[in-house]
Amino acid sequence: MNIDNYKILISNLPVRQQSFTTKRNTWRIAESKIDWLADLNDKLFDNKEALNISRQDIFNSNNSIRELILKTIYWGYTSGMRGNNFVNILQNIHTLETAFRNLKGKENLTSIDFNDLTKAMKNVSGLGLSTYSKLLYFLDIKFDDNPCLILDQRLIDVFANKVYDDFSLNGITYSNAQKRYLDFLKLVNKKSLELGTPGENVEQFLFMFGNNLKLIK
C-alpha cells in the first residue's frame, strides 16, 4: 500500500482530541508508596472517580513536568503499568524532571543529546522507549530539528510488517527501536512535509490504522 493514498484522512485526524479515561483506584497502591502522589491526584481527579485526558490536556501541562509525566502515564496506561514500573518511575521523579528540564532549556538538540538521555533513562527501572518517547512528544522536544513522536510496539509492528511500500524502517524491532528512534523521527518528518500535515497526524494514523487496512480490489 501507499500511505499517500490516505493523505486526506491523515490531515483531518483529530489528533489533539484523542483521549482516554483512567480510574483513581488504579493508582491507589502507588499513592501509599509515593508520599506526594495522593495530593497531586486529588488535584487531577478533582474528587471524581475517573479522569479523562486528551493529548491537548497533556500539552497544557507543559509548565509542570511532574504533572505532565503523570498525565502521560495515565493517558497511555489507563489500566496501570506492569508490575512495579509506575512506582519505580515515580521514585526516580527528580532524575526525570532534571533530564527533561535540561532538554527543554537547550536549543538545537542533536543525536548526542538523545544518546545522553537514553543513558539516563537506563537508570530508571520500568521506563522504556514507548513511555519516554511519549514524554518527549508531549514536552515538544526536537532532535536534529525533527519533532519527537510516540514510538511504541504498535508502530514498530507496522514498520516490521512493511505495510507501506514507500514508508518503511527496514529491520526495526522493539529491541533495536531505541537506536532507530532518530531514524523514525527523520522518516516521519520527511513524510509529513510531503503530505503537508504535522508528524503527529502520521503517528496517530499508523497507531489507529497502520495494521488494520486492506486494499479492496
| 175-212 pLDDT per residue, tens | 999 999 999 999 999 999 999 999 999 999 999 998 88
Name the band, by pLDDT with cuts 50, 70 and 90, for residue 213. Answer: confident
Contact indicator for 106, 136 with CB cutoff of 8 Å: no
pLDDT on residue 32: 95
Contact indicator for 148, 136 with CB cutoff of 8 Å: yes
Q: 119: which 3 cell numbers?
A: 543513558
Name the band, by pLDDT with cuts 50, 70 and 90, for residue 122. Answer: confident
Mean pLDDT for the stretch of residues 92-112: 93
103 alpha-carbon distance from chain centroid: 16
**Any bridge partners for residue 131, and if so which?**
none
Q: How many helices (H) and strands (E) does the chain have?
A: 12, 4
pLDDT at 30 over 80: yes
Where do the domains of the chain lie? 3-209
pLDDT at 62 over 80: no
Q: Looking at the whole model, is its pTM more than 0.75?
A: yes
Contact indicator for 117, 84 with CB cutoff of 8 Å: no
Distance CA 179, CA 101 (A): 23
Q: What is the DSSP letter of 142?
A: E
